[in-house]
Structure 1
Amino acid sequence: MSDYAKLLPSTNAASWAGRPFHRQWLMRQANNLFDFFQETSIDPDGGFYELDDKGNALNADHNICQIHTATRMVHCFAVGALIGRPGSDEMVDHGMRFIWERLRDERHGGYFWSCDRNGPVNTIKQAYGHAFVLLAASSAKLAGHRLADQMLADVTEVINTRFWDDKRGAVREEFNADWSPVAEYNGQNSNMHMTEALMAAFQATGEKSYLDKAERIAELIIGKHAVAMDYRVAEHFDGDWVLDKSYLGNEMFRPAGTTPGHWLEWSRLLLQLWTLGHKRLSWMTDASRQLFRRSIELGWDDKHGGFFYTLDWDNKPVMTEKLWWPLSEAIGAAAYLSDHDRDQFFQLWYRKLWDFAANHLIDTKSGGWRSELTTDLRPSARLFTGKPDIYHALQACLIPLYPTTGSLANAIIEADHTSHY
């Protein structure tokens, strides 16, 4: 147990998730995020702007909208529609039309990485981006959007025929526009988000093939590789799925070493997958606990607070920036673990994580969450400019409010079916 946990008497460790004030506070934070991103995010020429610290559009004169920006906005505002947030349906429709009409490659199939008002800018086709198309289409289907079934069928076919490697039980990383290979590289991050999207698609359609793929990815990335590394998640592999410790990559999307934020993300996803799989794969629950504990043990800055962005192979911090998304993922994981495990460790960390978010990340003056802090918790912009993303923070706010039985959008529907108001 951490030093923080020792300071709290056990009688104060009761779950916050059931307390009316905490639930109201969480929904208020979620609504603030919707307010921040809804007002100025729409690019009238298509897609969405990324926003600066004040909520103004970045690069408004020449906006290049990337696939993960558009798809995450669709997913989040589909969630907004499901909880009854006015204005959400228009945001979903704007994003769905942009993805379908502008990012989809009508000639070769699949979806480009980015485009501007004149057409495609980066024509690379990544499993990471296609995972978010699948997530967006799945959430939009639950929200009732007219294009959802068509997009869901289209991206599923692309994933099955182009990305899925049935021999390995994972998705291949990336291709050129004509589907010629780019490099002999495989990454866990794209497979992690594909796991998230496959679970959402399974719950949106009931088609078990999605769930089967998600379980196979988890077995490869966590059951085989992370377990062998004492529950540290390896990020980068060669074409044969052999760990590549020398990989340098891109410090924002593919940083070298290990990334504790992804251990936390997998911690939650494994419990989702275990639940959706009728709780038959018992190894997933222990792995979920171990991943969370290792991220706290190795990734948390005991002096200043917050998670280091990356560690080297000796578990020493390398990139010491404190980003908003690992903290957000930690909250979601702690919420899941607190609901499935009686160990007070997880609930105590749930409280500590929200303390950190409230005191350092949530911008009560300008709105949104600060995306990056220095080691000693001063606002920074070395890696991320402005407040580029609603997805991670919104899910941190909403996941604790709904059943921990699967994907967020479906959990909202499930809660509606069992409520009495």
Structure 2
Amino acid sequence: MDPSADDPAPPEWTRAQRERLVAWAERARHPHGFAWLDDTGRPRAEEGVHTWITARAAHVGALHALHADGADGTGRRAAALAEHGVARLRESLRDPVHGGWFSRLDLDGTPADTGKAAYQHAFVLLAGATGTAAGIPGAAALLADAAAVVDSRFWDESAGRAAEAFDRDWTGAEPYRGANSNMHLVEAFLAAGAATGEPAWARRALGVAAFLIGEQAAGHGHRLPEHYTADWAVLPEYNRDRPADPFRPYGWTPGHSLEWARLLLHVEAALADPPEWLLPAAEALFATAARESWARDGADGFCYTLDWSNRPVIRARMHWVAAEAVAAATALHRRTGAPGYAGHADRWWRYVRAHLVDDAAGNWRHELDAGNRPAATVWAGRPDVYHAYTALAFAEGLAAPGFALRTAEGSGAR
């Protein structure tokens, strides 16, 4: 019998899937980091080596090593994968002159994009934190270095949020602020707090969440504006003429609402005395995203972006959105005990298995069209295992460092 008939994500399946994703990341290993792979697992030479891909691969390798049996060969390979990523972040991808991390190298190691972006630096901080928790050589030094760069270059203490991007020598700053980079910094702050035992990281994460979710999303019908001016005024029409931008799409992004729903629960668990608004906000974000994005245009799957009247803009189905959806549903079910969340998780796992998991290749299809056929409107190839691995780990109850949850039994929730 197909195990999905009863449980769409049984432990033996999720464990095998996690191991296959680690094997896919191994195929991306490159002398200068981790390459961007195409659908068949070959490096895309035109993309070179990205910092965010290398850092995510190091994070996943460290996470898998943490969860593997000490005698397990997969765990040892995952630790080696993480060690390679950490070493390349400390050497190949780091700017030896001005500090911080290049965004991208050509395959020969030549810097191809020397800009310094908060998004990439968030993942370097995350890789250092997870690697430190897993005992990966060099990870503690990477964490300390990344924390110093984030603090001195990106963090704006007066705003309680991070700046977006600079040129190589830090003299030119982009007059834009982004919710996406700050969201991933919240993720990295929580992991850094777990790795160092320093509670200030969680307080900083709460401050970012209070502005972006407690103020902005709450003030826009539980839909998060992603784009802002340098002084944090909302830019609702940003990239209307480029709606499929892979990192700054026009409109609102339900996948980020689902990701934030889970992150708010982790912020709650990281604080000794969390504010009461975090759980209701997580539930509101989740409910709005699920209602407005799931199967809105006749087929299952999440529409990638919507306009401010909740009309689909980019109808493609992204693998990362489905991954964050099942992770959020699982987290909310554990936090509240409400059975509806478990129902959502089951429904969406069935969708993942039917349409996104590519058993022949050993990875998940990154993008589908509105009819759930393979597509490449926004993403070409399969550079990422991080979102899928996160969802699978949550299905097994394997929390990453800094990503604990309060439970329905332990918190008095319904």
- TM-score if structure 1 supplies the norm length? 0.89
2:253 matched residue in structure 1: 259
Deviations 1:286-322 (A, max 9, x none): 0001111000111112421111111111110000000
Which of these residues, 207, 226, 237, is aligned with residue 228 of structure 2? Answer: 237
1:285 lines up with 2:276 in the alignment: no
* Aligned position for 2:3: none
1:153 and 2:144 matched: yes
- 2:193–2:402: 8 Å Cα contact kept in structure 1? no
Match of 1:408 among 381, 391, 400: 400
User: Contact 2:190/2:403 (CA < 8 Å) preserved in 1?
Assistant: no
**Deviation string, structure 1 residues 201-241 (Cα, Å, up to 9, x no partner):** 00011011211111110011101100111110110000111
Identify the residue that residue 82 of structure 2 maps to in structure 1.
Answer: 92
2:92 to 92, 99, 102: 102
Tell whether the 8 Å contact from 1:402 to 1:408 is kept in structure 2 after alignment. no
> 1:341-368: CA deviations, max 9, x gaps?
1222211100001000000000122220
Match of 1:81 in 2: 65
1:359-403 deviations in whole A, cap 9, x for unaligned? Answer: 000012222000010001111112212211100001110012226
Match of 1:42 in 2: 29
SS at match of 1:318: strand
Identity of aligned residues (%): 35
- 8 A contact 1:135–1:197 mirrored in 2: yes
8 Å Cα contact 2:266-2:403 kept in structure 1 = no
| TM-score of the two chains, using structure 2 as the length reference | 0.90
Contact 1:110 1:158 in 2 (8 A): yes
Q: Secondary structure at the match of 1:93?
A: helix
Following superposition, the deviation at residue 163 of structure 1 comes to 0.7
Q: Is the CA contact (8 Å cut-off) linking 2:327 and 2:395 kept in structure 1?
A: yes
Deviation at 1:16, TM superposition (A): 6.1
Q: Which amino acid aligns with 1:394?
A: Y
- Tell me if 1:358 matches 2:345: no
| 1:231/1:294 contact within 8 Å kept | yes
* Counterpart residue number, 1:70: 54
Cα distance in 2 between the residues matched to 1:193 and 1:411 = 13
Q: Is the 8 A contact 2:92 2:109 kept in 1?
A: no
Unmatched runs of 5 consecutive residues or more in structure 1: 1-14, 413-421
2:291 aligned with 1:300, yes or no?
Answer: no
Equivalent residue letter for 1:318: V
Among 260, 269, 274, the alignment partner of 2:263 is: 269
Q: What secondary structure is seen at the aligned counterpart in 2 of 1:275?
A: helix
Q: Deviations over 1:42-86 (max 9, x none)?
A: 11x321122222222322xx6611110100000000012112223
Pair 1:101–1:42, CA change in 2 (3 A)? same
Letter in 2 for 1:41: A
Q: Tell me which amino acid in the other structure corresponds to 2:37.
A: L
**How far 1:411 sits from its partner (Å)?**
6.3
Asked if the contact 1:370/1:379 (under 8 Å) is kept, the reply is yes
The 8 Å contact of residues 336 and 400 in structure 1, kept in 2 or not, is answered as no
Provide the C-alpha distance between the structure 2 equivalents of 1:236 and 1:295, rounded to a whole number of angstroms.
18
Counterpart AA for 2:247:
F
Match of 1:56 among 42, 51, 54: 42
Q: Which SS does the other structure have where 1:135 is aligned? A: helix
Distance change (3 Å), C-alpha of 1:332 and 1:279:
farther
Any conservation in 2 of the 1:265–1:329 contact (CA below 8 Å)? yes
Code of the aligned partner of 1:336? A
Partner of 1:324: 319
Are the counterparts in 2 of residues 78 and 89 from structure 1 also a CA contact under 8 Å? Answer: yes
Supply the distance in 2 between the matched residues of 1:174 and 1:410 (Cα, whole angstroms).
26
In the alignment, is the contact (CA less than 8 A) between 2:32 and 2:93 conserved in 1? no
Residue 117 of structure 2 corresponds to: 126
Query: Are the aligned partners of 2:101 and 2:116 in contact in 1 as well (CA < 8 Å)?
Result: yes
Deviation string for 1:145-176 (max 9, x for gaps)? 22112111111111111111111111010111
Taking the TM superposition and a 5 Å limit, the aligned residue runs for 1:119-268 are: 119-248=110-239, 251-268=245-262
Q: In the alignment, is the contact (CA less than 8 A) between 1:170 and 1:217 conserved in 2?
A: yes
CA distance in structure 2 between the aligned counterparts of 1:240 and 1:53, rounded to whole angstroms: 40
Identify the match of residue 368 of structure 2 among 367, 373, 383.
373
The answer for unaligned runs of 5 or more in structure 2 is 1-5, 69-74, 405-414
Distance between the aligned counterparts of 1:78 and 1:338, measured in 2? 26
Paired residues, what number? 388
- The alignment yields a C-alpha RMSD, in angstroms, of 1.8
